[in-house]
Structure 1
């Protein structure tokens, strides 16, 4: 595995023969180069001990700038997620319990 900030010119030139290479851009964005020559952007983040990995897209379809923007959006959205999902049945149960007390 090779780590370090990669540039657009580098990711178009990088090739591998025998094994998969992972190039990190920092803050969870990385480029995976397969032995077949396929290059794909991924975003990986760890929150509350859970590792999440999302495929952003192929290098031929998404530029490095756009991949960085998408990774930023994913990082921001994960940071602002509510901790608990509120279900309608939970709200109804709380409302009825409050009404019985009054």
Structure 2
């Protein structure tokens, strides 16, 4: 698989996980289907960087979770610790879904 194909596969996996979880409930409220596309791209970029730093080994769920927290704070925050804690189970599910989709 070429690097562009791999990057696109990663982005699709992230987008799919974010859309399924719909953490902010925006898709359920009728937001456009690409609502989480910017966040998916940021997370996919983080995965690509983490993979390169680890000699192409996919990131762990823990690494993904930290990237997801950072992206969510940046794009939807700032969140209080309490607000972020409410999202933690969903963030963990998304991280696990992405790891599964990437075949780790």
Same fold (TM over 0.5): no
**Whose RCO is larger (CA < 8 A, sep 6+)?**
2
- Structure with greater proportional strand content: 1
Please report the TM-score for the alignment, with normalisation by the length of structure 2: 0.28
Q: Radius of gyration: which is bigger?
A: 1
Task: Report the TM-score, using the length of structure 1 for normalisation.
Answer: 0.28
